[in-house]
Amino acid sequence: MGAYKKLKDFVGEENYYDDEAHLQAYCYDATRERYIPDCVIFPKNEDEICKILKYCNENRIAIIPRGAGSGFTGGALPSNGGVILAMERYFNNILEIDKKNMIVRVQPGVVNKHLQDAVEKEGLFYPPDPASQEYSTIGGNVSENAGGMRAAKYGITKDYVMAIRAVLPNGEIIRAGKKTIKDVAGYNIAGILIASEGTLAVITEITLKLIAKPKLKKSAMGIFATIEDAMNAVYKTMASGVTPVAMEFLDNLSIRAVESKFNKGLPINAGAILITEVDGNLNEEIMYQLDQIEQKFKENGCIEFHIAKDDKEAEDIWFARRNASQSINIYGKKKLNEDITVPRSKLPELLKKIDEIGKKYGFKIPCFGHTGDGNVHTNVMVEDLKDIDKGYEAIEEIFKIAVALEGTLSGEHGIGLSKAPFMHLAFTQAEMELFRSLKKAFDPNNILNPGKMGL
Ligand SMILES: Cc1cc2nc3c(=O)[nH]c(=O)nc-3n(C[C@H](O)[C@H](O)[C@H](O)COP(=O)(O)OP(=O)(O)OC[C@H]3O[C@@H](n4cnc5c(N)ncnc54)[C@H](O)[C@@H]3O)c2cc1C
């Protein structure tokens, strides 16, 4: 198609692809849904992006920014065809580590782990650590507001974004935010771009806050007879003033799944396990925190509390959590995986209701995740694909419960395509109209990532 081939003028022949192999390689993400794009391009610099967007805007061509394509909700999928704007080839540089101000400036295609390693060499620390950190990009992390294991203490991506440079669909460059800690001049446009899933502007540069890296850390595991005890322990421990880095959980189904796959001696009769980590600079500080956690856990039905003696034992403790997601596949051919989030005190009720939904629909729903921030990965496991619609009915009920408990549809994976049909459960018509007006202000011709977020 001539309109697409014109893009070669901007990126060069060597950065434009419309052959079958590339179209197939860029047609899916971690949802495993497939939508074939019309072409894939690799822009070399911001100036090219300005020209590309201006051209696509004038010609009403859909354009989809893409990082590593590890998204769980289809954010980087060309659901209406169009151009994949792949940032990974050239936009992968760390531009500046400003040690004096504890700030790093990066291009969006930098892989999360590469950034973490680079700043840690300088004694600094970038805490957001999605489980996809080995491949997901900072641009994708900002666009989905990614979280990770350390969020209980250190927060999520949005807590580190200081400034964003981006290109609007009309080709103009905007700078949102500053290198300063305080900035109350004008609307918080950087805040609006965070979690905007590539629907408003193409991010070309990100300035992130760094902190000092704590010297010590220790992990521990608590075993609970019931999931209710474990969930009570989570919010009561956190409310008592201890701030663990992580407070993760596995329910009984998840424990059994990991054990059946890896034979690690996990407590298969436990209702749940909680896995926690604390950090600090003094051993006394670490031991004090662990002591407090053990006390709170035991007050809430913990039957065994085990502190890792060394790195090897810590690794063993974390093994179950790291392998939960792949292990639960034993329960069904199709995993309907959601990441609802509720205020922590509502976790006991949430888990009880999910159990009831599992029984009502006849699905196993293993749950695990980031209880320290109220974020539960619920996995409706569908064994027979003819039951898939019933699976989505169960998901809809789970979403309704999360919203009724003052929670949200997504704590970290975003809306994309997968959760778009459920937006009405969480937002009023007036709120959706406001989202649409915002989208229109940035992208009046709806060329940037159209069809996402239910807009
Ligand atoms: C095994 C696995 C584990 C995961 N664990 C976690 C986890 O612990 N926490 C978590 O939060 N997520 C997790 N994820 C989900 C996913 O990795 C994150 O959403 C991540 O932030 C996506 O980054 P990406 O580079 O792959 O982005 P992509 O999937 O390529 O894109 C995601 C969105 O960002 C937009 N985008 C990308 N770059 C730009 C840009 N430069 N400008 C504008 N928009 C852009 C895209 O259009 C799309 O809407 C996991 C995924 C997998 C497969």
Give the residue extent of every domain in the chain: 2-86, 94-212, 216-326, 332-425
CA distance 381 to 44: 42
What was the pLDDT predicted at 105? 98
Q: How large is the average pLDDT for residues 198-216?
A: 97
User: 332-425: what CATH class?
Assistant: alpha beta
Q: Which atom of ligand 1 is nearest to 87's Cα?
A: 41
Structural fold of domain 216-326: Alpha-Beta Plaits (3.30.70)
Transcribe 394-426 into DSSP letters.
Answer: HHHHHHHHHHHTT-BSBSSS--TTTTGGGHHHH
What is d(CA 170, CA 56) in angstroms, rounded to the nearest whole number? 9
The pLDDT tens digits for 170-180 are 999 999 999 99
Query: Are the CB atoms for 273 and 316 separated by under 8 Å?
Result: no
Residue nearest to atom 50 of ligand 1 (CA): 132
- Ligand 1 centroid to 140 CA: how many Å? 4
pLDDT digits (tens, 9 = 90+) for 148-185: 999 999 999 999 999 999 999 999 999 999 999 999 99
* Span 401-454, pLDDT tens digits: 999 999 999 999 999 999 999 999 999 999 999 999 999 999 999 999 999 999
443 lines ligand 1 (CB under 6 A): no
Element (H, E) at 67: none
2-86 matches 216-326 in fold: no
In angstroms, the CA 407 to CA 371 distance is 13
d(CA 14, CA 67) in angstroms, rounded, equals 19
pLDDT greater than 80 at residue 191: yes
Predicted confidence (pLDDT) at residue 2 exceeds the cutoff of 90: no
Q: Is 64 near ligand 1, meaning CB less than 6 Å away?
A: yes
| pLDDT tens-digit series, residues 4-36 | 999 999 999 999 999 999 999 999 999 989 999
In the structure, what pLDDT confidence band is assigned to residue 74 with cuts at 50, 70 and 90?
A: very high
Which of ligand 1's atoms lies nearest the C-alpha of 138? 25
Up-side HSE of residue 176: CA atoms within 13 Å toward CB? 24
What mean pLDDT is reported for the chain? 97
322, amino acid identity = R
The tokens describing 340, both together, are 């609802």
Distance CA 277, CA 243 (A): 9
Q: Please write the tens of the pLDDT for every residue from 91-107.
A: 999 999 999 999 999 99
The CATH architecture annotation of domain 2-86 reads 2-Layer Sandwich (3.30)
Domain 94-212 class?
A: alpha beta
Query: Is the Cβ atom of 153 under 6 angstroms away from ligand 1?
Result: no
Query: Residue 196 corresponds to which tokens in the numbers above?
Result: 């905007």
pLDDT of 340 reads 97
The pLDDT assigned to 1 comes to 60
Q: Ligand 1 in contact with 140 (CB < 6 A)?
A: yes
- Residue 143 Cβ contacting ligand 1 at under 6 Å: yes
- Output b/e per residue, 14-26; b: 16+ Cβ within 10 A: ebbbbeeebbeeb
